Amino acid sequence: MNKDFGSDVSVIVEPAPVDFQTQPDRYRHWRVSFNRSVATIAMDVSESDTLAPGYELKLNSYDLGVDIELYDILQRLRFEHPEVGAAIITSAKDRVFCAGANIKMLGKATHAHKVNFCKFTNETRNAIEDATEHSGLKFICAINGPCAGGGYELALACDYIIMIDDGATTVSLPELPLLGVLPGTGGLTRLVDKRFVRRDRADFFASLEEGIRGSRALEWKLVDEIVPASRFNEAVRDHAQVVAEGSNRPHEETGIRLRPLARSIDADTIHYRFVDVEIDRNLRVATIVVTTPDTAPPTELAPIKALGADYWPLAVARELDDVILHLRANEDEIGTWLLKTRGDNAYVETIDRTLSEHAHDWLISEITLYLKRVMKRFDVTSRTLIAAIGPGSCFTGTLLEMALACDQIFMLSGEYEGDPRPPATIGTTTMNFGPYPMVNGITRINSRFLNQPDHVKALQGRIYERLDATAAELLGLVTFTPDDIDWDDEIRIVLESRASFSPDALTGMEANLRFAGPETMESKIFSRLSAWQNWIFQRPNAVGTDGALVRYGTGKRPSYNKQRV
């Protein structure tokens, strides 16, 4: 954590609107270089380039802006640089790797900003592990200086950790003893679930302010290798080269460029090419509409790769990704998202057949993995999600996943008199039965029908079948099927009721109900760690006048309420 001592940090600062779009020529905090199949991502945080006033990013400490750039780097490695099989994450500064999340930033930020910051950072760490597991892109963390808090959590997300053995460099998770909070981006979970650190050792480590160095860090599995300073750079380089040579990344392929999104934002609307958002501030509802193009999509790899980032499923993934992050960070009083689609079911079916047929291709694989990560963002977002399936909609296959991520699904039974649009139908495709697992490791279909394998098998036997409201209700794929007389009233009632409930209680209820079934390291990070961190961030022992987070750096010790509740 950042040990930058200074004035009191108790003044809460409302952050300016956060823009999650960036590009390499706008990076302020990272240096990226390439040596054939090895990329080096060097953290070089600019102290003054902060998202809000009142703090400096000393000692490579970070705020949300630093992580937005890192996320962009990860996306570009996957899509623009298929030749890269190994990436080294290190520090460009002397004698420090990363001091973690900036403490003054945390002390000044609103509670909502802290929680969104932790969630986005969690998702970015998970994206590193996803690339390691599914894309053949391995990450080596080269710790070349003290590594604390969120800095060590970044290291834990990597596949391999090499630490310089110089007598001064340590790894630590000092949030508990210093700040009265928890490591907020999966540190505790990864210690025991990923690195298999013994519980007693993990307990001692997480309560130790100064951290652990050298041979003990290696013995306790906190790092994978320690190397003297004289051989450190060589050892990192050699290990990365061996890893890259063993990668199955398509070294001979040419990547595609991720151009800036075409986006316009007004007071109550957001417009992209294929995604539109309209905000009703009285009902506190954002209506998100995904559309398909009017022309048939390509089905062969050459024209798909010629389209690059304009290929519809990739374009939609990028636009949905951006709008989810924008609404989370900048519209926290808009508590309900109403999801709609508009277009041609046949178009989505063709897309899904293409994604399935060419699943072995690196670009198609990356698009599918990206769609998976975007759908997971829906799952872990603390908003009520309602799907409205009406005439002219195309909730089929990949887009059906959006509906299956919702807390309730409404589908119109029949049609409106004189309506030229086709009646509402939905349909499953091969993409609903494997490629898009939730954080609990199973599909949304399996999560919906737990302990009903025969029903799931029956649904799998009806892929590419158009289901009207009656059939969809019988199969359990929708919640309610009002007719044209009741449709508007039913939708209005559910939106009004959600707006009248406690947002805190809704968040807790939805998070409990969404992740039925098995538990994974990823689900633990979101449903267990994030929930507790959310609660701890509101407790006086952390953020009260005499709390640890507020008093840190002032020379005053925190005063704790000693009750265990």
pLDDT tens per residue, range 51-100? 999 999 999 999 999 999 999 999 999 999 999 999 999 999 999 999 99
pLDDT at 230 over 80: yes
> What CA–CA distance (Å, rounded) separates 31 from 44?
7
Could you say which DSSP state residue 197 is in? -
pLDDT value of position 8: 40
pLDDT value of position 471: 97
Tally the residues of the chain: 565
pLDDT band at residue 107 using 50, 70 and 90 as cut-offs: confident
**Strand-by-strand arrangement of the 147-148 sheet:** 147-148, 170-172, 212-213
Least confident of 370-374, 397-401, 542-546: 542-546
pLDDT value of position 183: 86
**Strand-by-strand arrangement of the 30-35 sheet:** 30-35, 38-43, 86-91, 138-143, 160-165, 225-228
pLDDT band at residue 13 using 50, 70 and 90 as cut-offs: low
Give the residue-averaged pLDDT of 257-276.
97
pLDDT at 548 over 70: yes
Least confident of 178-192, 266-280, 312-326, 472-486: 178-192
Give the residue-averaged pLDDT of 260-266.
96
Token pair belonging to 10? 């108790």
Give the global pTM: 0.95
Class of domain 264-511: alpha beta
pLDDT band at residue 512 using 50, 70 and 90 as cut-offs: confident
pLDDT band at residue 40 using 50, 70 and 90 as cut-offs: very high
Give the residue-averaged pLDDT of 383-391.
98
Class of domain 26-251: alpha beta
Tell me the average pLDDT of the chain: 94
502: phi then psi, degrees, rounded to nearest 5: -65, 120
> What CA–CA distance (Å, rounded) separates 93 from 115?
28
pLDDT band at residue 12 using 50, 70 and 90 as cut-offs: low
> What CA–CA distance (Å, rounded) separates 554 from 4?
10
Q: Which residue has the tokens 């075409």?
A: 262
pLDDT value of position 7: 35
Give the residue-averaged pLDDT of 378-398.
97
Phi-psi map region of 441: left, alpha, beta (phi>0 left; psi -120 to 50 alpha): left
pLDDT value of position 4: 37
288: phi then psi, degrees, rounded to nearest 5: -110, 120
> What CA–CA distance (Å, rounded) separates 395 from 404?
10
- Domain(s) labelled CATH 3.90.226.10 in the chain stretch across 26-251, 264-511
pLDDT value of position 11: 54
- What is the DSSP annotation of 46-87? -TT--SSSS---GGG-B-HHHHHHHHHHHHHHHHH-TT--EE
pLDDT band at residue 15 using 50, 70 and 90 as cut-offs: low
